[in-house]
């Protein structure tokens, strides 16, 4: 038997820590603003009167616009309302601690004063101003870390940059020449013209070699040793890991990770994109990510006039109102000490303190299993005068530690109320998989033990889903504590690689063994998991039966795939097994 690989993020930008000291501010920050601003804000998702599908900043690529034609957009770029102080003010008001702005996106157009390449905002537009200069100053004044996005691999304007195959023949490209002629000189400018830079946010390392990624990372560090390098430099050479766009794993992560995320669906401004997430959803995501120890880099796509969309402003203000009251539960915190996501909300922690961030505010009392530390005080952040009482005791049979908090009273004024809990000593929790106070037992795939050979085929994706499970000899098991027992509905949660891809996992045959009971079923997706987390990576649940389980201190649950659907052999993406107690 092999233990499941808990440190599962081998994928996109594994956090190999090169610069632990420089990561201190980044770990504390937890919340930043991403800004995608470039020539693409002018067409804003339309070309020659036609709406172009996809994200706004990819317009040139999606519509295969010849580079000279696209470049002529610069003639009309005159964002007279641009005001760096105002932009930074919005970030600051929202409680964001760093700001990452596009200096050159995949379209190759530099949004700063580049002496090395005339294809830039100062030389090629009638506006002739360098927005990065003002933003750097404004960030510094506001105490926000100024950071820069740079597309190191894709450059659809440069004949040797990656991914423009409509103007240039891929076979004739010389990436080395592109690095020397454009990328390195521009990185030098960016790292010498604007004072200290918090991090360079590299992106889409589609074609870059390991040697070249390393060379660029080293180059950044040689120019500014304290400047962090994002995980998307490629080849696991970043100082921290970058999860996929809008990706939120199903459990906490180990290591330093960030999720870049959109407020609607696009990054660069797009008039037709009205898919704005609600304030409530954005706060939910912020809390979910903080509970998993992941930074939230939330995007704004300003218009070609230099304005933030009103929808973004409204949401940033709403987030700021919440952060003013509850920010201490986000900044400088670490992930949930428990291995499981709780249904009621998330937990963050600092030395000597826990925060309970509630998605669902308790009616009158709240129960948590497994916290061993003695609690010395409980404070409702929104209203510290509210008197909350608590008791801690051990359950007689299972010996599990139980916390009961009461005195919740009415719902918080701000959605997602938070409790600050002072504890004695270093955090100490029972990490067993325990049936929760509401009767539910959740068994995430990534916390299973893997059995059988060849065991290395099965791994977990960066979201915590099974992947590469193609062998019937491999099976998973969880050892768990079911102190109350009951009759349970059994749901298998299957996942999708991305919303744009077909569902994976349908029709596989499963067998579940709970003690001596065997249940067989077929993955068929009876319902969709309704959670802000799964918006871009949908999850479905299949009800595979019901079962009675007697109270058990140590119950072994086993899962096997007994038949693989041939066409989908390589995509048994499972997220979780959920045992939902029926009745009481």
> Per residue in 509-528, is it b (16+ CB within 10 Å) or e — as a string?
ebbbebeeeeeebebebeee
- 46 or 245: CB nearest ligand FHN: 245
Closer Cβ to ligand FHN, 55 or 573, answer by number: 55
Yes or no: say if 446 and 4 are a contact pair by the CB < 8 Å rule: yes
Strands 365-369, 574-582: pairing kind: unpaired
**Could you write out the DSSP letters of every residue in 105-160?**
-TT--BSS--SS-S-BHHHHSSS---HHHHHHHHHHHHT-EEEEEE-SSB-SSSTT
Residue 119: CB atoms within 10 Å: 20
Shortest distance (Å) from residue 59 CB to ligand FHN: 10
Q: Whole-number minimum distance, CB 176 to ligand FHN, in Å?
A: 23
Contact 80, 305 (CB under 8 A): yes
CA distance 424 to 412: 27
Minimum Å gap between C-beta 125 and ligand FHN is 21
Of residues 245 and 311, the one with the C-beta less far from ligand FHN: 245
Q: Kindly tell me which of 31 and 267 has the beta carbon lying closer to ligand FHN.
A: 267
Position with the least CB separation from ligand FHN: 260
Q: Please report how close the Cβ of residue 182 comes to ligand FHN at its closest, in angstroms.
A: 18
> Of the two residues 204 and 440, which places its CB atom closer to ligand FHN in the complex?
204
CB of 58 to ligand FHN, least distance (A): 6
Contact 496, 467 (CB under 8 A): no
Nearer to ligand FHN, 90 or 202 (CB): 202
Task: State the residue for tokens 């709970």.
Answer: 514
Which helix (H) or strand (E) segment is 561 a member of?
Answer: strand 552-563
Cβ 242 vs Cβ 277: under 8 Å = no
Nearer to ligand FHN, 243 or 354 (CB): 243
Shortest distance, position 154 Cβ to ligand FHN, whole Å: 7
Cβ closest to ligand FHN, residue 154 vs residue 336 = 154
Q: How far is CA 399 from CA 157, 202, 368, 372, 393, in A?
A: 65, 50, 14, 11, 9
Structural contact between residues 250 and 446, judged by C-beta atoms closer than 8 angstroms: yes
* Minimum gap (Å) between residue 524 Cβ and ligand FHN: 32
SS (H, E, C) 349-416: EECCEEEEEECCCCCCEEEEECECCCEEEEEECCCCCCCCEEEEEECCCCCCEEEEEECCCCCCCCCC
For 171, half-sphere exposure in the C-beta direction (CA atoms, 13 angstrom radius) is 0
90-101 exposure pattern, b = at least 16 Cβ within 10 A, e = fewer = bbbbbbbbbbbb
Binding site for ligand FHN (CB under 6 A): 36, 55, 57-58, 203-204, 245, 260, 267
Helix (DSSP H) and strand (DSSP E) numbers for the chain: 11, 31
Lookup: tokens for 557: 């649950």
Between 247 and 348, name the residue whose CB sits nearer to ligand FHN: 247
Give the phi and the psi of residue 194 in degrees, each rounded to 5.
-125, 20
3-class SS string, 490-556: EEEEEECCCCCCCCCCCCCEEEEEECCEEEEEECCCCEECCCHHHCCCCEEEEEEEEEEECCEEEEE
CB-nearer residue toward ligand FHN: 43 or 260: 260
Shortest approach of ligand FHN to residue 308 CB, angstroms?
A: 17
Least distance to ligand FHN, CB of residue 321, Å: 27
* Smallest separation (angstroms) from ligand FHN to the CB of 238: 13
Smallest gap, in angstroms, from Cβ of residue 193 to ligand FHN? 22
Between 107 and 576, whose beta carbon lies closer to ligand FHN?
A: 107
Closer by beta carbon to ligand FHN, 107 or else 539: 107
Token duo for residue 395: 């359950």
Q: How far is the CB of 149 from ligand FHN (least distance, A)?
A: 7
Give the pair of three-digit tokens for residue 526: 């009876």
Per-residue DSSP letter, 194: S
C-beta of 68: minimal distance to ligand FHN in Å? 22
Question: Mapped to the 3 state alphabet, what secondary structure does 255-296 carry?
Answer: CCEEEEECCCCCCCCCCCCCCCCCHHHHHHHHHHHHHCCEEE
Min. distance of Cβ 213 from ligand FHN in angstroms? 16
Cβ closest to ligand FHN, residue 101 vs residue 561? 101
Nearer to ligand FHN, 215 or 245 (CB): 245
**Is the alpha carbon torsion for 181, 184, 187, 191 positive or negative?**
negative
């Amino acid at each position: 038997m092999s233990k499941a690989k808990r440190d599962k993020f081998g994928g996109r930008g594994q956090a190999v820590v090169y610069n632990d000291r420089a990561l201190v501010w980044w770990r504390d920050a937890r919340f930043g603003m991403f800004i995608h601003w470039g020539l693409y804000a002018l067409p804003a998702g339309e070309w020659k009167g036609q709406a172009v599908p996809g994200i706004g900043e990819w317009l040139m690529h999606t519509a295969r616009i010849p580079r000279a034609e696209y470049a002529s957009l610069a003639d009309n770029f005159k964002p007279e309302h641009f005001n760096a102080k105002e932009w930074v003010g919005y970030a600051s008001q929202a409680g964001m601690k760093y700001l990452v702005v596009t200096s050159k996106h995949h379209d190759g157009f530099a949004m700063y004063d580049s002496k090395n390449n005339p294809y830039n905002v100062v030389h090629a537009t009638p506006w002739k101003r360098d927005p990065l200069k003002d933003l750097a100053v404004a960030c510094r004044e506001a105490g926000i870390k100024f950071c820069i996005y740079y597309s190191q691999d894709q450059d659809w304007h440069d004949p040797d940059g990656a991914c423009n195959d409509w103007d240039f023949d891929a076979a004739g490209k010389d990436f080395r020449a592109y690095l020397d002629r454009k990328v390195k000189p521009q990185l030098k400018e960016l790292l010498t013209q604007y004072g200290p830079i918090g991090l360079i946010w590299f992106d889409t390392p589609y074609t870059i070699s390991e040697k070249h990624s390393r060379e660029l990372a080293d180059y950044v560090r040689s120019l500014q040793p304290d400047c962090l390098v994002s995980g998307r430099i490629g080849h696991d050479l970043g100082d921290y890991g970058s999860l996929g766009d809008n990706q939120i794993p199903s459990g906490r992560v180990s290591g330093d990770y960030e999720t870049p995320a959109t407020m609607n669906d696009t990054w660069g401004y797009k008039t037709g994109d009205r898919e704005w997430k609600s304030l409530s959803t954005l706060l939910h995501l912020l809390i979910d990510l903080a509970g998993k120890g992941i930074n939230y880099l939330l995007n704004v796509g300003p218009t070609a006039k230099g304005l933030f969309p009103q929808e973004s402003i409204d949401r940033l203000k709403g987030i700021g109102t919440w952060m003013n009251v509850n920010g201490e539960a986000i900044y400088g915190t670490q992930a949930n000490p428990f291995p499981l996501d709780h249904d009621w909300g998330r937990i963050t922690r600092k030395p000597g303190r826990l925060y309970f961030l509630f998605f669902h505010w308790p009616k009158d009392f709240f129960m948590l299993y497994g916290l061993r530390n003695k609690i010395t005080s409980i404070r409702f952040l929104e209203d510290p005068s509210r008197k909350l009482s608590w008791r801690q005791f051990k359950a007689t049979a299972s010996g599990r530690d139980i916390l009961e908090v009461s005195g919740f009273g009415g719902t918080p004024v701000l959605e997602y109320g938070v409790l600050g809990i002072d504890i004695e000593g270093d955090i100490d929790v029972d990490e067993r998989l325990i049936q929760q106070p509401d009767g539910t037992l959740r068994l995430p795939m990534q916390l299973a033990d893997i059995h059988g050979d060849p065991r290395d085929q099965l791994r977990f994706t960066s979201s915590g889903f099974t992947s590469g499970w193609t062998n019937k000899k491999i099976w998973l098991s969880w050892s768990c504590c079911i102190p109350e027992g009951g009759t349970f509905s059994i749901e298998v949660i299957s996942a999708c690689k991305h919303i744009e891809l077909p569902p994976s996992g349908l029709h596989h045959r499963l067998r579940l063994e709970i003690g001596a009971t065997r249940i067989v079923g077929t993955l068929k997706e009876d319902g969709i998991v309704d959670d802000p987390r799964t918006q871009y990576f949908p999850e479905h649940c299949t009800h595979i039966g019901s079962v009675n389980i007697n109270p058990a201190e140590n119950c072994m649950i086993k899962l096997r795939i007994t038949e693989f659907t041939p066409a989908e052999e390589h995509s048994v993406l499972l997220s979780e097994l959920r045992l939902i107690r029926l009745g009481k």
